[in-house]
Amino acid sequence: MEIEKHQHHQLHVFFLPLMAQGHIIPAIDMAKLFASRGHRSTIIITPHFLPFLSKSINQNTDSATQIDILTIKIPTYEVSLPEETESIHMATTTEMLSKFFQALPMLGPQIEELIKRHRPDGLIADMFFPWATDVAVKFGIPRFMFHGTCYFSLCASVCMIRYEPHKKVSSEYETFIIPNFPDKIEFTASKVADFYKEDVEPQYLKLFKDMHEDEMRCNGVLVNSFYELEPAYADHYTNVLGIKSWHIGPLFLNSKGMNLEEKRGMECSIDKQVWLKWLDSKRPNSVIYVCFGSMIKFEDKQLMEIAMALEGSGQEFIWVVRKEKQEEWLPEGFEERMEGKGLIIRGWAPQVLILDHEAVGGFVTHCGWNSILEGVCAGLPMVAWPVSGEQFYNEKLVTQILGIGIGVGVNKWSRNEGDFVKSEKLENALRRVMKGEEAEEMRSKAKGFAQMAKRAIEEGGSSYMDLEAFFQELRLVRLSRKISKFC
C-alpha cells in the first residue's frame, strides 16, 4: 500500500559507501529506510561485500524488492595491490592502505557508466569520495555526502581544518579550546587525527582538505543522528558553518523494525541460544558489554589489561575480542575463573541485539559513531575508550555534552592499536559506570535519549520529517532538471 502510494513520485537513489563495515552498515540501513518509504535504492559495492549485503537485506520484506546491488572493481592492478583487496580491512599495512586510497578516485569512470545506464535521481556518496561531486554534476544529478558520524564531530572536524588550533600550541599535550564552537571543549593535538597533520600523513591531509571542500560544495550532508540529541550542533553546522544537512537517524532503528534478527551482515561467532540464555539468566542492568567495533585490533598486552580489569572489578561482562586463537592474551585460568560471570565472544557479536537486552547495563566502547548511537538507543551509560578516526570528538559528546559516559583516560590518537590503558583505569571506570548514584544518573539520561530517538523516527518525528524534506529536495531537483531539458 505504502509503496503503491508513492509509486508515481518514486525516487531512485544510488548509495556509494566506503568499503568498510562501519560505513556499509549505515548505508544499508539508509537504503532500507528509503525503500520502506517507497523509493528505490541501489547500493554500489565491491564483490567482496555481496554475501554481507545479501545477509543484511531480508528478502521477505516488501521493501527488499526496491533495493538493488551493483558491483564495482577496485583498480588494484593500477596501484600494485593484490587483486583481492576489495575492502579497507584487506589493506593490512600502512602502505597497502595508502594505495587503497590512491585507487579510490580511479573508480570515477565505473560510477559514470552506472549512472549513465541507470539514471538515478541522486547519488549519496561517502565522504571519502570527494571526486563523486564532479561525477554527479556531469550528469546533472545532485550529490549528497554521508559521513557516518554525528553533528558534534562534523562541527569539530570543520573547526580543526578551518582554524588549525592544534598547530598553535607548543606541545602535543597542551590543551586548547575548540574555536568557534557552541560549548567550551578542551582538546589536545595528541587527540587530533594524524590525517590533519602534514608532517605525519601528507597525502591524507590533502584528502581530508578535499573532503571538507566537497562538504561545502555538494548538495548537502545526510547525518545519522537525531535533532534532540545534539540540537546546538545540528544548528551550528547549518547556520554558523554554513553546511546544508538533514538529520535522518538513528538509521539502524528504522531498519530494526524490518528485520529483528539483524546481524549487521556478518555471520555471528556465537549461537543465539548461547548468548541469549546466558543473558536471560542475569539480573537487569548487571552485565557490561565490551566491544571495540569492526577495525580495532589491540595488542595482547592491552587485552591482558582488559581481562585483569574485568576480573578485578567483579563485574559480569560480555567481551568481544577480534582474536580466534587462545590465549597468551588472557591471564592464566581466566576463563575457568570467569565461568558464568563473563562471556567472551571471539569474532563478530550480534551487538545491537545484545545491547538491547535488559540484562545489559553498560557499554565499553571505542566511540565509533554507530556503536555510540546503538548504546544511546539502548539507554546505556558508556565507558568511552576512543582510539582513532573521529572517536575522540565522539567521546567529548558522550561524556561532556550528553553526560551519559565517562572517559577511560586515553590521550593519544592512534591508527588501530590504541593508546595503552592500564587495568586500574578501566576497573575504576567499570565501577563508576555500572553502580551507584553517578551510574544511575547517566543511565536515566541515556534512557531519556533512547525515548527521544524512538520518537524522532516515528511519523511526524524530527528525523522522519527531515527525511521527507530531503525527498522533497530530490523531487524539486528532478523537476527542475526536467523543466530545463524541456526549455
Active site residues: 23, 126
Size of the site for ligand UDP (CB under 6 A): 18
395 vs 152: CA distance, rounded Å: 10
Q: What is the rounded radius of gyration, in angstroms, for the C-alpha atoms of the chain?
A: 22
The phi, psi pair for 198, rounded to 5°, reads -70, -25
* Least CB distance to ligand UDP at residue 205 (A): 21
Binding range to ligand UDP, per CB under 6 A, among 40-48, 57-65, 106-114, 346-354: 346-354
* Beta-bridge partners for 365: 291, 384
* Least CB distance to ligand UDP at residue 391 (A): 8
Grid cell locating 285: 542492568
Binding range to ligand UDP, per CB under 6 A, among 179-187, 243-251, 288-296, 467-475: 288-296
Nearest CA-CA partner of 350 in 25, 91, 17, 18 = 25
Binding range to ligand UDP, per CB under 6 A, among 18-26, 93-101, 204-212, 432-440: 18-26
Residue nearest to ligand UDP (CB): 22
- Is residue 219 a contact residue for ligand UDP (CB under 6 A)? no
- Is residue 88 a contact residue for ligand UDP (CB under 6 A)? no
Q: Which is nearer to ligand UDP, 246 or 369 (CB)?
A: 369
- Is residue 295 a contact residue for ligand UDP (CB under 6 A)? yes
Nearest CA-CA partner of 447 in 477, 391, 402, 414 = 402
Which position among 24, 25, 123, 248 is part of the footprint of ligand UDP (CB under 6 A)? 25
* Least CB distance to ligand UDP at residue 331 (A): 23
Q: Which is nearer to ligand UDP, 210 or 356 (CB)?
A: 356
Which position among 28, 291, 338, 421 is part of the footprint of ligand UDP (CB under 6 A)? 291
Binding range to ligand UDP, per CB under 6 A, among 130-138, 300-308, 345-353, 471-479: 345-353
300 vs 311: CA distance, rounded Å: 17
* Least CB distance to ligand UDP at residue 420 (A): 19
- Is residue 275 a contact residue for ligand UDP (CB under 6 A)? no
Q: Which of residues 348-387 bind ligand UDP (CB under 6 A)?
A: 348-349, 351-352, 368-371, 374
72 vs 19: CA distance, rounded Å: 11
Q: Which is nearer to ligand UDP, 291 or 456 (CB)?
A: 291
Q: Which is nearer to ligand UDP, 349 or 384 (CB)?
A: 349
* Least CB distance to ligand UDP at residue 274 (A): 15
* Least CB distance to ligand UDP at residue 167 (A): 27
* Least CB distance to ligand UDP at residue 346 (A): 10
Instruction: Give the residues lining the site for ligand UDP (CB under 6 A).
Output: 21-22, 25, 264, 291, 293-295, 320, 348-349, 351-352, 368-371, 374
